[in-house]
Amino acid sequence: MAAALVEYLRKVVDSEGLLSWSAYRDIGARFAVTYREIEETALKNGFFPKRLQRQRNLFGAAAQLDLLKAKVAIVGCGGLGGAVFEMLLRIGVGHLLVIDPDFFDESNLNRQFLATIENLGRYKVDAALARGRLVNPVAEVETLNQVFQSAAGRARLALCDLVLDALDSVSARLELARLCAQNQQMLIHGAVAGWSGQMVPVPSDSEKMAQIYPGNNPETEPVVPLPETEEPLDNSALTVNAVAALQVAAAVRYVCNFGGGPETSAIKPESGLAGCFIDLLEPALERLF
Amino acid sequence: MQVTVKLFAGLRQGRFAIREFEFADGAGMARIVADIGISDSELGILLCNGRHTELSCKLEDGDVVSIFPKIGGG
């Protein structure tokens, strides 16, 4: 069957080796295979999805295959989570787990891309599921409308290659970092406030999350519990999307390179694990540790 | 000893973006943060000469300290 599929792919791709969406539908029915299996077979045989044509030279087929095989968790489906999810879908990540117990509220509309007038009061993760079908039906989108600390949350998180922090509280972030350390998973931290934000990759053997939030780590500093921040600062779509892009770029670097990707990957960053602080009011990007 | 302090984003409000300070030899990060009046709830990442550092770290003449605000939204 595999050889027959490759032979058929050769017939239906265009002169540049691009596979159109209508061909996926045709092949899916004809060979009783999933869209994901079609995409994997296509990439392994030198063909490329037409929907990803404009990143063919940017990423290359090897990196695209790494992205397709990757299983990425997004913890929190608000401002950062919704933006990160949209980008991961569009660049062709094959498996996404989205965790958030919350419902959309009218105050989310200014910055949370999955929030619409129609879905106010509904689970945020349900919007992610619907968006996935519209934007990239190849991606397997798995959702959980519970906190990540729940038994189901912990069990499903443990199966992911990489975790993106899109939470909105300091204490939850410290908990997530401890869980990822136990699971030996890379965690990519992102946070926003006002006009600024930050992105820091947190390897499982590092103390970076505790360094990002000094004085908030109950394990190392069993002193008086500190407040989260003095007052929750306002957030806009601007910072949320800037930081989400930094997180997704770090995810791509990790999956295609540091995650043990093939040598042929076109993506070879010198400083793949560097973090940064971004200020959109006085535009500047500061390198963090 | 002379230490250059850089503040970022909201920490600049009512303070400064970059300033040179004169401190007694052996002064640490905690002293500088206290002198500038940054509370624990405002304090985020601390860098000394571009590398992560702790409040307990002692400083040397010519050090450049970067202080970032605590940021927790998502």
Chain B residues with at least one Cβ partner in A under 8 Å: 8-10, 17, 39-47, 50-52, 54-55, 66, 68-74
Q: In which domain, by residue range, is A208 found?
A: 64-287
Task: Note the pLDDT of residue A219.
Answer: 52
Examine the pLDDT at A15 and tell me if it is beyond 80.
yes
**Is there a contact between B9 and A169 if contact means CB atoms under 8 Å apart?**
no
Backbone angles phi, psi at A235, to 5 degrees: -135, 150
pLDDT band per the 50, 70, 90 thresholds, residue A214: confident
What's the CATH number where A181 sits? 3.40.50.720
Query: Does residue B74 belong to any structural domain of this protein?
Result: no
Contacts of B73 (CB under 8 A, 6+ apart): A79, A168, A191, A192, A193, A232, A233, A235
Task: Note the pLDDT of residue A227.
Answer: 45
Examine the pLDDT at A6 and tell me if it is beyond 60.
yes
Count the domains in chain B: 1
Best A85, A167, A213 residue to mutate vs chain B (most B CBs within 10 Å): A213
Judge whether A256 and A96 are in contact, CB under 8 Å.
no
Same domain, A41 and A55: yes
Backbone angles phi, psi at A16, to 5 degrees: -95, 5
Please tell me the distance from the alpha carbon of residue A187 to that of residue A207, in angstroms, as a whole number: 12
Examine the pLDDT at A217 and tell me if it is beyond 70.
no
Task: Note the pLDDT of residue A274.
Answer: 87
* DSSP E strand boundaries for chain B: 2-7, 18-22, 43-48, 51-52, 64-69
Same domain, A16 and A116: no
**Is there a contact between A193 and B71 if contact means CB atoms under 8 Å apart?**
yes
Which domain-ending residue is among A12, A28, A59? A59
Task: Note the pLDDT of residue A258.
Answer: 54
Same domain, A149 and A52: no
pLDDT band per the 50, 70, 90 thresholds, residue A226: very low
pLDDT band per the 50, 70, 90 thresholds, residue A223: very low
Which domain-ending residue is among A42, A59, A76? A59
Average pLDDT, chain A: 91
Please tell me the distance from the alpha carbon of residue A233 to that of residue B45, in angstroms, as a whole number: 17
What's the CATH number where B11 sits? 3.10.20.30
Mean pLDDT along residues A71-80? 98
Mean pLDDT along residues A202-211? 94
**Is there a contact between A286 and B54 if contact means CB atoms under 8 Å apart?**
no
Identify the CA nearest to A85 among candidates A61, A46, A51, A112. A112
Q: How far is CA A141 from CA A72, A125, A168, B24, in A?
A: 10, 10, 22, 58
Same domain, A189 and A235: yes
Same domain, A126 and A203: yes
Contacts of B41 (CB under 8 A, 6+ apart): A226, A227, A228, A229, A230, B70
Same domain, A17 and A71: no
Examine the pLDDT at A146 and tell me if it is beyond 80.
yes
Same domain, A122 and A232: yes
Mean pLDDT along residues A112-134? 98
Count the domains in chain A: 2
Judge whether A161 and A71 are in contact, CB under 8 Å.
yes
User: Which residues in chain B are closer than 8 Å to A195, comparing Cβ atoms?
Assistant: 9
Please tell me the distance from the alpha carbon of residue A76 to that of residue A123, in angstroms, as a whole number: 12
Q: In which domain, by residue range, is B36 found?
A: 2-69
Task: Note the pLDDT of residue A233.
Answer: 77
Same domain, A70 and A38: no
Please tell me the distance from the alpha carbon of residue B61 to that of residue B67, in angstroms, as a whole number: 18
Query: Does residue B13 belong to any structural domain of this protein?
Result: yes
Mean pLDDT along residues A210-233? 60
Examine the pLDDT at A125 and tell me if it is beyond 70.
yes
Examine the pLDDT at A177 and tell me if it is beyond 90.
yes
User: Which residues in chain A are closer than 8 Å to B17, comparing Cβ atoms?
Assistant: 282
